[in-house]
Chains A and B, each alone.
Chain A
Amino acid sequence: MSTNQAIDDRGIRDADARGRRVGEPLTTPPPAPAARLQRLLHAHPLTGPALVLVLACVLFSLLIGPRFYQPANLSLVVQQVQIIGMVGVAQTLVILTAGIDLSVAAIMVFTTVVAARLAVGAGVPAALALLAGFAAGAACGAVNGLLVTRFRVPPFIATLGTLNVFGALTLLVSGSQTVRGADLPALFLWPGQTFSAFGADITYGSALVLVAFLFVAHVLRRTAWGEHVHVTGDTLEGARLSGIRTDRVLLSVYVIAGLICAVAGWFLIGRVGSVSPFSGENVNLSSITAVVIGGTSLFGGRGHVAGTLLGALIVGVFSNGLTLAGVDVLWQTFTIGVLVVAAVGVDQWTRRVGG
């Protein structure tokens, strides 16, 4: 590995020294054999996670058989990762700007208790209560965004603080009480309802998560806003000097992330079947895990929500497959840890393409 890398670096430097000058065609010299993989991963960063997902599916299909690849089980995997996936979309947006949001799970749970309190406690119509929950999510995001842009608090610190603030507010609003599913309006539980397709029962929640992925991927790729999100994460000072209103871009990212978390909260109610101030605790780190395994760089500016979808599915497939194979839970944790470290390593390696 290290020998190959040394050869790669030398190859690229030689190529530069040989004269890719101003004025000459913007050609890349023929890659040294060992640099080819690096270039492939640089140009197509989704290759890695896609390959891992396919290999994992093949491995578990061979190892476990139909119990793994039957539609019902695959549908279960998707249901298990839908919350992480949805929150992962929000997390991807923030990480693309070279930030991080540690408060995503706290926002998600906070919005569920706000909506439940309004609907069950105050008798507000279900749809209005749900919308109030979404608004609360956007407001939480706005707090994060203002801390980062107006008060120049580093995102890690700002969201570490709001993680605790929103968590405390969750307990305050809910009175530390769980609202049972039987007391909740049907609309709240709707994302957990199923419809039949491809020979399996699919929940509306998991289907909507896929729609959200497609929509955000489209917006990031095709709109000026998406371009500015990438550039802001890639080079903050350069973006500012180019006339991009970076503060406005960052604020909008945190607000939208908060809104997405609130929608994830709705899906969470459907999945769990109740509203509890103590649910979704592992979602914070899992969402970051999915983003990182999906190949999005923690340094900002590069990555893709499709990678996050792959990352979430990889985590789901490994958990599900290892459980079905009867392997101790500790090895699930171990595997995910190895994947995270490997993903960051690959990111560091491919980022050096330009030298």
Chain B
Amino acid sequence: MISPGRGPVPAAKTVTAPDQGSLPVLVARGLTKRYGHVTALDGTDLTLRRDEVLAVIGDNGAGKSTLIKCLSGAVVPDEGTIEVDGRRVAFRGPLDARAAGIETVYQHLAIAPARDIAANLYLGRELRRKGFAGWGLRLLDRKAMRANTRELLDSLGLLTIQSLDQAAETLSGGQRQGIAVARAAAFGSRVVIMDEPTAALGVKESRKVLDLILEIKNRGIPVILISHDMPHVFEVADRIHIQRLGRRIACVPTADITMPEAVALMTGASQPGPGHTQD
């Protein structure tokens, strides 16, 4: 959506109409990851379409987090391929994934508690001043970072007019989550991945995060949502990817499945039938 070099400028992007013929944004095939004798991922597939929220659910040990780490570059898979917009990629680290336009909101947020809000939004990709002061003296453009941060938080409904000088640690858990989500929304140009974004939040704060997920989708960026919370998943997801024992056992439109059915598949109480896996 926005080129990272320029920083977050919250321009509302026109939503492209869902095009059945268009390529999926992200395709993973046969991802395998072993840790010693433990096989965390056993040849799993994943397809993320344009303009959708894809929920990834699964029991503990199903390989959800390893799968997500492969997609966000934090883990390098032993086997398998990942394609972004039809192009093969091989992520060696989080930087590579970010360069490909994939932003991740980690469960532990990756927020620097002692830094202020603007600094946290630009963590690792701070804006420099124009001209020699920027590339020669490598000076930061804190003014622009602050102004952009204000604009971005405002456009996401996360701020009216308040101090951006305060340290992240003075914010509530929900506000910190808001900062992390805003960062992903600002810099994620192709895909935003969220790992259990509502796990530590109360009811009202979760509500806000779910709204943010839909807001990001409306801006034309597909979202992968990892969550344990079935009501949340069924509320915002367009399709549900069910992970079990290191493989994708089903991937169905949310409208075609009920919550008990999803839980039964996830826990192995029932077996997937034909038509349960659609790319």
Contacts and interface: CB of A to CB of B under 8 A. Distances in A.
A222 B119 CA distance: 12
> Mostly helix, strand, loop or mixed at chain A's interface?
helix
B115 A27 contact: no
> Mostly helix, strand, loop or mixed at chain B's interface?
loop
A326 interface: no
Contact of A244 (B124, B162, B167): B124
A304 B86 CA distance: 48
A271 interface: no
Interface residues of A, number: 35
A46 to B, nearest CB: 15
A242 B110 contact: yes
Interface in A300-355: 301-302, 351, 353-354
Contacts of A224: 126, 128, 138, 140
Interface of B: 74, 94-95, 98, 104, 106, 108-115, 117, 119, 123-126, 128, 137-140, 153, 157-164, 166-172, 174-175, 177-178, 201-202, 204-205, 208-209, 211-212
A113 interface: no
Contact of A239 (B95, B112, B178): B112
A25 B137 CA distance: 36
A243 B117 contact: no
A301 B159 CA distance: 26
Given A242-B123, A242-B124, A234 B172 contact: no
Contacts of B166: 26, 28, 43
Contacts of A354: 113, 167-171
B7 to A, nearest CB: 13
Interface of A: 16, 19-23, 25-28, 42-43, 222-225, 227-228, 230-231, 234-235, 237-244, 301-302, 351, 353-354
Contact of B177 (A22, A222, A231): A22
A240 B93 CA distance: 10
Given A22-B208, A26-B171, A302 B162 contact: no
9 contacts: A20-B174, A21-B175, A21-B204, A224-B128, A231-B119, A238-B111, A241-B104, A242-B125, A354-B168
A21 to B, nearest CB: 5
Contacts of B170: 28, 42, 353-354
